[in-house]
Amino acid sequence: MSLFLIAALPFLGAVFPALLIRAGRNACSSAAGAVTLLALVGVLLHAPEVFRGETVTARAPWLPQLGMNANFFMDGLGFFFATMILGIGLLIIIYARHYLSREDPMGNFYTYLLLFQGAMVGIVLSDNILLLVVFWELTSLSSFLLIGYWRHLPAGRQGARMALAVTGGGGLALIGGMLLLGHAAGSYDLTTILERKDQIQASPLYVPALILILLGCFTKSAQFPFHFWLPHAMAAPTPVSAYLHSATMVKAGLFLMARLWPVLSGTDIWFYIVASIGMITMVLGAVIALFKDDLKALLAFSTVSHLGLITLLLGLGTEEAAMAAVFHIMNHATFKAALFMTAGIVDHEAHTRDIKRLGGLRVLMPVTFVLATVASLSMAGIPPLNGFLSKELMLDAAAHTIWNGSEWLFPVLATVGALFSAAYSFRYVVHTFLGPVRDDYPHKPHDPGIGMWLSPAILVLLVVAIGLFPEALAGEIVRTVTDAVIGGHGHYHELKIWHGVNTALIMSGIATVGGLILLALHRPLDVAWLAAPRPEAKVIFDACIGALIRAARAVTDTLHDGALSRYAAIFTLFTVGLGVYAFSTGEIGEATRPMNRIEVLPLIVWFCLIGATACVVAFHRYRVIALVIMAIIGLVVTLGFNYFSAPDLALTQLSVEVVTIILLLLALNFMPKRTPIESSPGRRLRDAVLSIGAGVGVGLLLYAILTRDFAFPSISEYHLANSYKGGGGHNVVNVILVDFRGFDTFGEIIVLGIAAVVIFALTEAILRTSVRAKLLNRKPDWPVAGDSHPLMMVVVTRLMMPVALMVAAYIFFRGHNEPGGGFIAGLIAAIAIVMQYMASGFSWAAARQHFPYHGIIGSGVLVAAVTGMGAWLNDKPFLTSDYGYIHIPGLEKFEWATAALFDVGVFLAVVGAVLLALESLSRYAWRPNTDSPYPMDINPARDDPRGGRED
C-alpha cells in the first residue's frame, strides 16, 4: 500500500465515525476500527522490505519553492512506530467502544481519535522535516480536542489548554529549529539531512537548531521542566490517556530525537542536555508517582519517569543505549497501555480512581487483577517480563556513564529512579487489589465484559511473551529499528534474560528490594510528603497564564481605549517626526522662484484669514459662532483663489461654502449650542503643541514647494497645449475635469453621491431609535423664531428661483470654455432649490418636487457612466470624448462635446446629493400629520410605496 494512502487513511476515515454514529455505536466504532486495521495491514505489508533494510518511499511535490514536499519514507524506525501507533490504536478503539457511556458523543470521539492517529502516522512517516512539523502541530491540535473531550469538566478544558499551550508552544520552537536545521543541511529532506552529520555539526546553526528542536521534543515528551502538562491531560477519558501516553503523543518527542539521532547526537552538548534532562525527569517522575493517590495520576507520573528513562538512553549517544531505548519504547508501550486500560476498568467499575478508597479488588475483579499485576511487575522491572529486560539494559548503560568526571552519579541516580519505579508499581497492585475487601466502594465493582479486558489482555500477553522469548520475538525488529536510529549497522548483544551476575543485576536487585521497603514505609512517607511544601505546577502555570492574560488585557485596553484625541496625537507626532527625519536626511536645493511683491489689500485679507482662524480656536465651544467664522475663512480662501487667477476654484469654493454652511446650520439645529470642555489643561497643552508643530511643518513644506520650480517639465504643459485641440474646450480646468482626468471626477461624484446616501441611511438608523423622540421633546436653549416662513423671504426666494436656475444653466453651458461647469452649476441649482425649502418649508417645497433624490443621484452617476461607455461603440477607451459643431438656423454655430453630457451627469449627481443630505437632516424634526413649525420639515414617506406610515 502506498505510503500516501497509509498516511491519508486515518484522515479520510475520520469522516466515517462522525457520520455513522447515526447508524449506531457499533457501526461507528467498527468504521474507526476498520480504517485503522486497513492502515495497519498497509504498513505490515511492507514488513519484508523493511526487514531487508530497504526504505519504502513515496514522494510528491507540494511547495518545492520552500523545500516543503509531501515526501514519505518508511524504514525500520518508521515501520516500528507506525505499527505501534496503529496496533495499539486498534486495541484502544475496541476498548473505547465499551468504555464510553451512552451520553458521550462517540462519533466525535472516534473522529478526533482518527485525526490524531493520522497526525501521529504522518510524523513517523515524514521524509520532509517541514511536513513533519505540520503533523507535529496537528497532534497538538487534535490532542487538544481529545483531552477536552469531556467538555463539561473544568479539568478537561484546562488540561486541554495546558497541553496545547505547552506542546503547541514547543512546536513553534520546533518550527524554528527545523528551519535552521534544514538550512544548515541544505535540504529539508530527512534522508538527505541524515547523511550530512559533519556539515550540520560544523555549522554555527547547530547549537540553536539543536536547542530549539529539543525544546519541541521535551515539551511533547513531557521532560522536566515541561512535564507538568501530562498529568493534567489525564482529565481525558481513559482510552485517550492510554493512547496518548503509552504509544503516541508523548512518544513523538522520543521519535524525533531517535530520528535525528544520527546527525544531532555525539556531541557534548547533546549528551549534557539530553542525558541530564532525561535523568532528572526519570527520578523526579518516579518520586512524585509514588505519592499520587489517583490511579491515572500515578500512571501519568510513571509515564513521565519512563519517558525520562528513554530520553536518558538516547542522550547517552552509544549504540547499546540506542538499542535499549528502542526496546524500552516497545516494552513501555505494551505495559503502559495495558495499565491505563486496567485503571480505566477500575474507574469504570468502582466509580473511583482514588487509591485510598480502593483495595481488595483481587477478589472482586480477578481478571483485571491478573492483567494489572503482570503489567505492573513488568513496569517494576521484575523478571521474566519485558520491562525487566530493557531496564537492565538501561542500568547497564547508566553504570558505564561518566558524567562530568563523576563515575558514580549516573549509576546512583539510575538506581534511585528504578527503586522508586519499583515502589510505585508495587503500590499500584498492592493498594488497589490486595488487602481486605471493603464495603464502601462508590459502586460495587466486578469484572467487565470481554470487550473491555480483551485489549489489555492482548498487551499483557505480549509483555509475558517478549519477556520469555525476547530474541525470538523482538530481537530482529529491535536490531532493524536500532540500525535505522543510528543510521548504520551496529554490533549488538543478543536480547536475553540472563546476563550473569553483573552491575546492572545488582542495581536491579537493590531497586526491587528498596521498592518493597519503600512500599512498606509508604504511610509515614506519604504523610511527610503531603506535609512538605512543594511547588504545584498547575498553580504556577495558571498564575503565569492568568498574569499573561491580565497583562494582555491591560495593554490592549489601555492602548485602545477609544480616545480619538490621543490616537490623533500619536498620529500627528509620528507623522511630523518621520517627515522631519525624511526632510533632514535629504538635500534641499536652492529656491528658484522669486518672491511676489507684497501688496496692501491682499495683506489685509491675509490678516483677516489669520484673525478668523485664531477666532475659530478661541470660540470653538460656541458652535454657531465657530461656523460663522468658518464661513469667513471660506470666503477669504475664495478671494485668494480669485487673486491668484483661479476663477474656477473660486466659483467652486464659493458655492461649496454656501451649501455646506446651510447643511451645517441645519445639523447644528439638533445639537447643543456649546461644546463642553472634556480634556484637562495638560492635554489641551499637548494638543496645542502638537497641532502648532504640525501646522508649522505643513507651512514650511508649502513654503519650500512654492519657492521652487518643478524639477522636470510638468504634464500641465501638455494639458494647456491639447485642451482645445484634443478636448474641444478653451477652459483647461474644465477640460481636465471632464476629459483629461474625467475618471477622477467620475470617482468624486460617486463619493458625493455615497456621502448623501450614507447620510440618508444613517438618519434612517437613528430615527428608529429613541433619539428622535428626545429631539422632538427637547426644550430649545434659544428662543424659537415666531415666524417659520417669513413672507418677505418666501417672496424673494420664489422670485430668485428662476434667476438662480438660469445662472446655473449659464454656468453649465459656458463651462467648457469659460470658468464654470457641471459641478458649480449643480451647486447653484441646488442652492436655488434649497432656498425654497428654507423659505417656504419642506412640505410646500417637497410637494412641488417630483423627482426622488436617490433617483437624481443615481441618474447622474449613470449618465456619466453611460457617456463614458459610449466611447466603446467607437472602439475607444472609457470616457474618450468627441466634439463637433452644430448649426441651428438663427444661432451662431456652436460647439458640442460629449464631455458636456458627462458634465450633465456631474450636475445631476451634485444636485441630488445636496438635496438628499438636506432632506435627511430635515427629517429629524419632522412630525407626522402636523404642520411643523420648523422650516425644514418633510414627510419622509412621500416616495415610499408603503405609504405615509411611520416606522
Partner 1 sequence: MSHWIILPIVLPALLAPFILMVIRHHLDLQRIFSVAGTVALLGIATGLLAHAATGDITVYELGDWPAPFGIVLVLDRLSGLMVFLTAVLALAVLLYAIWTGWDDRGRHFHALFQFQLMGVLGAFLTGDAFNLFVFFEVLLIASYGLMIHSGGAHRLHAGVQYVAYNLIGSTLFLFALGTIYAVTGTLNMADLAVKVAEMPAEDTALIRVAAVLLLLVFSVKAAVLPLHFWLPGSYGNAPGPVAALFAIMTKVGVYSVLRMYTLVFGPQVEATQGLASNWLIYAALLTVAAGTIGVLGSRRMMRMAAFGTIGSTGTLMVAVSLFTQDTAAAAIYYMIHSTFAAGLMFLVADLVVERQGDSIRPYQPMPHGGTISVLFFAAAIAVAGMPPLSGFVGKLLVLDAARDSAQAVLVWSVILITSFCAILGFARAGSLVFWKSHDDNEPDSEEIADAEVPPDPRAVKLPVAPPRLPFVPAFALLGVLVLLTVFAGPVMTYTGKTAEQLYNPQTYIDTVLKGTGS
Name which of residues 856 to 915 contact partner 1 (CB under 8 A).
857-862, 865, 868-869, 871-872, 875-881
Nearer to partner 1, 172 or 505 (CB): 172
Nearer to partner 1, 69 or 421 (CB): 69
- Of 147 and 282, nearer to partner 1 (C-beta) is 147
Name which of residues 550 to 589 contact partner 1 (CB under 8 A): 550-557, 559-560, 562, 564, 567-568, 570-571, 574-575, 578-579, 581-589
Which cell goes with 302? 510513571
Instruction: Please give the DSSP secondary-structure letter assigned to residue 291.
Output: T
Instruction: Report the greatest alpha carbon distance in the chain.
Output: 132
**Beta carbon nearer to partner 1, 47 or 543:** 543
Binding positions for partner 1, 623-652, rule CB under 8 A: none
Distance of closest approach, residue 373 Cβ to partner 1, in angstroms = 36
Dist. CA 338–CA 299, nearest whole Å = 11
Minimum CB separation from partner 1 for residue 498, in Å?
48
Among 743, 795, 796, 948, binds partner 1 (CB under 8 A): 743
Q: Show contacts with partner 1 in window 142-171 (CB under 8 A).
A: 144-145, 148, 151-152, 154, 157-158, 160-161, 164-165, 168-169
> Which one of residues 360, 647, 726, 933 is an interface residue with partner 1 (CB under 8 A)?
726
Q: Distance between CA atoms of 398 and 390, rounded to whole angstroms? A: 12
The answer to the question of residue 692 lying near partner 1 (CB under 8 A) is no
525, 545, 624, 668: residue in contact with partner 1 (rule CB under 8 A) = 545
> Please, which residue, 640 or 933, has the CB nearer to partner 1?
640
Strands 72-74 and 883-886, sheet pairing: unpaired
Considering only 24, 506, 716, 789, the residue that binds partner 1 (CB under 8 A) is 716
Q: Is 854 in the site for partner 1 (CB under 8 A)?
A: yes
Nearest to partner 1 of 552, 847 (CB atom)? 552
Among 704, 795, 803, 847, binds partner 1 (CB under 8 A): 704
Smallest distance from partner 1 to CB 734, Å = 14
Q: Which is nearer to partner 1, 680 or 770 (CB)?
A: 770
Q: Is 682 exposed, middle or buried (0-12, 13-18, 19+ CB in 10 A)?
A: exposed
**For residues 433-472, which are near partner 1 according to CB under 8 A?**
none
What is the helix (H) or strand (E) element at residue 886, kind and residue range? strand 883-886
Residues 6+ apart with CB under 8 A from 491: 319
Residue 406 or 592 having the CB closest to partner 1: 592
- Find cell 495558571 and name the residue: 542
Least CB distance from residue 723 to partner 1, whole Å?
A: 11
Q: Is the distance from CB of 245 to CB of 330 less than 8 angstroms?
A: no
Nearest-approach distance from CB 338 to partner 1, in angstroms: 31
3-class DSSP state of 354: strand
Among 506, 521, 591, 765, binds partner 1 (CB under 8 A): 765
Angle at CA of residue 814, ends 810 and 815, nearest 5°: 110
- Rule CB under 8 A: which of 481-540 touch partner 1? 538
Question: Segment 174-213, which members bind partner 1 (CB under 8 A)?
Answer: 175-176, 179, 183
Write down the least CB distance from residue 26 to partner 1, Å.
22
Tell the smallest beta-carbon distance from residue 760 to partner 1 (Å): 7
| Contacting range for partner 1; rule: CB under 8 A; set: 362-370, 500-508, 639-647, 699-707 | 699-707
Contact between residue 901 and residue 816 where contact means Cβ atoms under 8 Å apart: no
Span 910-949, contacts to partner 1 by CB under 8 A:
944-945
Among the listed residues 595, 711, 873, 886, the single contact to partner 1 using CB under 8 A: 711
Q: How far is the CB of 350 from partner 1 (least distance, A)?
A: 24
CA 947 to CA 765: how far, in whole Å? 19
Q: b vs e for 880-897, b when ≥16 Cβ sit within 10 Å of the residue's Cβ? A: bbebeeeeeeeeeeeeeb
Q: Which of 790, 776, 791 is nearest to 926 (CA)?
A: 776
Q: How far is the CB of 385 from partner 1 (least distance, A)?
A: 39
Q: Which is nearer to partner 1, 234 or 458 (CB)?
A: 234
For residue 273, the minimal CB distance to partner 1 (Å) is 20
Nearer to partner 1, 105 or 928 (CB): 105
Q: Does 596 bind partner 1 (CB under 8 A)?
A: no
**Interaction of residue 26 with partner 1, rule CB under 8 A:** no
Contact by Cβ (8 Å): 806, 889: no
DSSP codes of every residue in 186-225: T-SBHHHHTT-HHHHHHSTTHHHHHHHHHHHHHHHTT-TT
State which residue, 492 or 878, has the beta carbon closest to partner 1. Answer: 878
822: cell is 457641471
Task: Determine the Cα–Cα distance for residues 665 and 796; give it in Å rounded to an integer.
Answer: 21
CA 419 – CA 415 distance, rounded (Å): 6
Neighbours of 800 (CB within 10 A): 16
Candidates 124, 125, 173, 257: give the one binding partner 1 (CB under 8 A).
173
Q: Are 429 and 372 spatial neighbours (Cβ–Cβ below 8 Å)?
A: yes
Q: Three-state DSSP class for 62?
A: coil
Phi, psi angle pair for 73, to nearest 5°: -150, 155
Count of residues touching partner 1 (by CB under 8 A): 132
Q: Give residue 426's Cα distance to chain centre.
A: 47
Shortest spacing between CB 486 and partner 1, in angstroms? 30
Three-state SS annotation for 536-552: CHHHHHHHHHHHHHHHH
Contact residue for partner 1 among 768, 774, 789, 798 (CB under 8 A): 768
| Rounded least distance, CB 860 to partner 1, Å | 8
Query: Which of the residues 43 through 62 are near partner 1 (CB under 8 A)?
Result: 61-62
Q: Which residues have C-beta within 8 Å of that of residue 51, sequence separation ≥ 6?
A: 76, 476, 477, 480
What are the DSSP calls for 712-752, one per residue? S--THHHHHHHHHHHHS-S-HHHHIIIIITHHHHHHHHHHH
Residue in 506, 530, 758, 847 binding partner 1, rule: CB under 8 A: 758
Q: Which of residues 80-139 bind partner 1 (CB under 8 A)?
A: 130, 133-138
Complex with partner 1: residue 137 or 320, whichever CB lies closer: 137
User: Whose CA is closest to 190, among 469, 484, 395?
Assistant: 484
* Residue range at the interface with partner 1 (CB under 8 A); choices 374-382, 648-656, 850-858, 923-931: 850-858
Enumerate the β-bridge partners of residue 896.
Answer: 884
Question: Taking a C-beta distance cutoff of 8 angstroms, is the pair 244, 236 a contact?
Answer: yes
705 interacts with partner 1 by CB under 8 A: yes
Member of 65, 645, 777, 930 binding partner 1 (CB under 8 A): 65
Which of 12, 41, 45, 63 is close enough to bind partner 1 by CB under 8 A?
Answer: 63
Distance separating the N- and C-terminal Cα atoms of the chain? 68
Q: Using CB under 8 A, which residues numbered 781 to 820 contact partner 1?
A: none
- Residue 14: DSSP 8-state: T
Torsion, Cα 232 233 237 243, to 10 degrees, reads: -140
